[in-house]
Amino acid sequence: MPSIGTSIPHDSAPGHVTGEAPYVEDITPLQGELWVEVVGSPVAAGRLMSVDAEQALELPGVVGVYTHEDMPRGAARQFGPIFHDEPFLAYEEVSYVGQPVAVIAADSREAARRAAALVAVNVEEASPILTIPDAIAADSYLGPIRHIQRGDLDAAFAEAPHTLEGVFHNNGQEQFYLESQACQAIPGEQGQVKLICSTQNPTETQAVVAEGLGLSMHQVVCECKRMGGGFGGKETQSAIPAFAAALAAQLTGRPARIVYGKTQDMKLTGKRHPYESRYRVAFDDDGRLRAAEFEFFSNGGAFADLSTSIMERTMLHADNAYHLPVVKITGRICKTNLPPNTAFRGFGGPQGVLVIENILQEIAQTLGLDALDVRRRNAYVDGNPDKSHTPYGQLVSDHVIHETFDQLEQTSDYRQRMAEVEAFNAKSKTHVKGLAVSAIKFGISFTTKFLNQGNALVHVFTDGTVQVSTGGTEMGQGLNTKIRQLVADEFGITPDDVMLMTTSTEKNHNTSPTAASAGTDLNGTAAVNACRDIRTRMAEFGAELLTSEKQGTTPSPEHIRFENSAVFDDRHPEHKLPFGQFCDAARRERVDLGARGFYATPGVDFDRETGKGTPFFYFTTGAAAAEVTIDRFTGDLVVDRVDLLMDVGQMINPGIDRGQLYGGFIQGMGWCTTEELKYSDQGELLSASPTTYKIPNITDTPAVFNVETIPNPKHKRNVRLSKAVGEPPLMLGVAPWLAVKHAMSFVAPGTIAPLELPATNEQILMCMTRLSEPKAESLGSIG
């Protein structure tokens, strides 16, 4: 059976199902191990006056309470992945509710928690800035303003027959990984510390902890066996709990462990960024866009984190799958007194995609056209130089966007069902239906060039089994399983003979985060490169071993084959040697059976100053159609059917890839329809548990959920001609929201519904109420 293209199970699936797969919290405690808790700021903004730990230190089992004053001499006081603006522990001032002020170390978890509640943090409180409008009014921003522009905007608007403008708001989203932030820190010799951490970014965690402890990076090892989910929330924000555990370990000389509770995790960590998006577009009678202007404002929270890169990807996805002949895009990040918002699956892309998809839906409604037809007319055209370049100048080629629309229209029975929706709405007094299509063109690569690299270490043993170590981290997405398949294919053995080892900076250094949907692209290709180095040496040895003068052939490495767990010369395939025996023979002849592989994504570059370049190696594209039914009296929303179609290249593991398509869509649908973050007027997260924050459950899954892939023979890039699949399907979760908006067009024909995001049952009911009032307000104004 071939390794590539086979749906072998996730390598940890049995452990996941039985509960035997260990996570950080499950690790057997070491002798003398401490439990760590962080003490957070009680208010969102103010001057830090004092930290009184007297009562906490009197509790039995409490070993220490540490503030910024206890950090090692020479250690950095602030950190950050882009700007070093976030304090390890607050000093002088506090900037959000829960900001770490002190670290508790105790003999038990209960003692640490009780002690944390007894620490008095005294703050001279100030008025917090919590929302985007408040930040704009206060001129409170993070980082510089960013621009991308093409063409003469004023002239295009002056000549266009139609214009539309509006302001759109989207809420944030909680990553809701099942395993909370967690880290075990183990002190070693000469100031060393080992971190066993739930992190997507071992190298960044290593570097941040080294900075906070005043160490060099070679004194810190960070490893991650697996995570119970990440979704971007553990790309940078695993650093604070890791630092807290490491500080306690360094100061006491004892192992230390921290595990956030779920509510604590939700309150302390950043989310997907809320946005205020201002737009105006010019278009013709057929709905073709002539020009577009976008002004994006994100709520970055108190510190920069990854907000500038996230805004960059928003701007780079403002076009989505559609050509904008004249365009101006501006991005600003608002500094507020909330936890610093951070990466989440899609990394800013969803906020840009949502706006242009909403615009096309509004254009169709304005002109009385079918929204799918409007999308087709605006979509990029492969091979047409006038409709194949992004606003930032990258060529969009080798895609099947139009073919996807065509196939989806047929397989979803789009035209017939649209007629049925219209007929239903003409008769029903209690419910209203909607049907809509959305598309995605998602760029694959980090937009920060140096991150587009991966490395792998491959060891072949004399029994024919293989160990592989990469910089990629496994969070349930199946990265390790895919790499097993790639390595097995290179050596012609079974995936069962390949084992992925715990990710560790001790084996793979200077690695990039497992993010940007590039985990397999970078680490898988690096592993393949390492295998090929080994295989080259093996083939040279095999040519001598497997060829003799009696066979009438001369040794030739080009003829050595590795197939079906055997090695042979293809000129004499009857003379085979089992792979394990071959490896043993090679070792006895001192053939090196190990290699380090490296891969750097070719051809990517982006100039942030000019807003031009080629930031992406390729694009993953797709489309989805969603049908919904809404109760006119309660606003209750049911997603009846979804048809999803994507170009994901040649799948390494179809089962895993299809799982990503299903899961990504549902997560995007949750962002758009059920997941609502609620904060108090003092900046404290109120929706901080599963009872108050509603992620989709099994009953929210569409009754009919068709997920298919479309072949793309034009795609000739990437490892085994595969495509990234982690993030792109999330953005197709916009389709149910667009279907709700389509349904609202039947409630008040001729009026653009004031529907924002998420479209919860409450929001839908309020929207319908407004639409039913005389002179219902419109979200957009049409000229």
Q: For residue range 717-741, list pLDDT tens digits in order.
A: 999 999 999 999 999 999 999 999 9
Map residue 453 onto helix, strand or coil: strand
List pLDDT tens digits, range 401-447: 999 999 999 999 999 999 999 999 999 999 999 999 999 999 999 99
The model's pLDDT over 454-476, given as tens digits with 9 standing for 90+, comes to: 999 999 999 999 999 999 999 99
- Residues 161 and 284: beta-carbon distance below 8 Å: yes
Q: How confident is the model at residue 551 (pLDDT cuts 50, 70, 90)?
A: low
pLDDT tens profile 635-690: 999 999 999 999 999 999 999 999 999 999 999 999 999 999 999 999 999 999 99
Query: Which pTM was predicted?
Result: 0.96
CA distance to 139, 143, 273, 328, 400, per residue, from 146 (Å) = 16, 9, 17, 11, 31
Residue among 640, 646, 705 nearest 417 (CA): 640
- Answer yes or no: is pLDDT of 776 > 50: no
Joined tokens for residue 236? 């940078």
pLDDT confidence of residue 783? 37
User: What is the CB-side half-sphere exposure of residue 272 using CA atoms within 13 A?
Assistant: 31
At residue 773 the predicted structure's pLDDT band, cuts being 50, 70 and 90, is: confident
Strand order in the sheet with 566-569: 560-563, 566-569, 577-578
Q: How far apart are CA 747 and CA 768, in angstroms?
A: 7
Alpha carbon distance 455, 457 (integer Å): 7
Distance separating alpha carbons of residues 435 and 280, to the nearest angstrom: 25
Query: In the prediction, which pLDDT does 553 show?
Result: 78
3-state secondary structure of 526: helix
How many whole angstroms separate alpha carbon 767 and alpha carbon 571? 73
Question: In percent, how much of the chain has pLDDT > 90?
Answer: 96
Mean pLDDT (the chain) is 97
Paired residues of 606 in beta bridges: 613
- Whether the pLDDT of residue 781 is over 80: the answer is no
User: What does the alpha-carbon distance between residue 95 and residue 301 come to, in Å, rounded to a whole number?
Assistant: 9
Q: Which of 388, 400, 325, 321 is nearest to 353 (CA)?
A: 321
pLDDT at residue 512 in the model: 98
Residue ranges and CATH numbers for the domains of the chain are 13-127+175-268 (3.30.365.10), 275-447+608-782 (3.30.365.10), 453-600 (3.30.365.10)
- Stretch 136-140: mean pLDDT: 98
Residue from 145, 170, 289, 288 nearest 731 by CA: 170
Bridge partners, residue 641, by sequence: 627, 704
Burial level of 289, CB count in 10 A (0-12/13-18/19+)?
A: buried
Produce one character per residue of 533-554: b if its CB has 16 or more CB atoms within 10 Å, e if not.
Answer: bbbebbbbbbbebbbeeeeeee
pLDDT above 90 for 2: no
In this prediction, residue 775 carries a pLDDT of 60
Across the range 371-379, mean pLDDT stands at: 99
pLDDT greater than 90 at residue 549: no
- Cα separation, 221 vs 240, whole angstroms: 16
The DSSP bridge pattern shows strands 704-709 and 637-647 to be parallel
pLDDT reading at 712 higher than 90 = yes
Spell out the alpha helix ranges (H) of 225-341.
239-252, 262-268, 307-316
Q: List pLDDT tens digits, range 192-230.
A: 999 999 999 999 999 999 999 999 999 999 999 999 999
Averaged pLDDT for residues 345-353: 99
Q: Under 8 Å CB-to-CB from 376, ≥6 apart: which residues? A: 402, 405
Dihedral angle, C-alpha 464, 555, 574, 583, nearest 10 °: -10
The whole-angstrom separation of Cα 735 and Cα 668 is 9
Q: What is the largest CA-CA distance in the chain?
A: 97
**Residue 271 has what DSSP assignment?**
-
Q: Are 101 and 51 in contact (CB under 8 A)?
A: yes
**Cα–Cα distance measured from residue 671 to residue 174, given in angstroms and rounded to the nearest whole number:** 9
* Percent of the chain at pLDDT exceeding 70: 98
Three-state DSSP state, 161: coil
Which pLDDT band holds residue 547 (cuts at 50, 70, 90)?
confident
Average pLDDT value for residue range 292-309: 99
Q: Which residues are catalytic?
A: 727
* DSSP H or E run through 157: helix 153-159
User: In the predicted model, is pLDDT for residue 613 greater than 90?
Assistant: yes
Q: At 778, is the pLDDT very low, low, confident or very high (cuts 50, 70, 90)?
A: very low
Model confidence band, residue 554 (pLDDT cutoffs 50, 70, 90) = confident
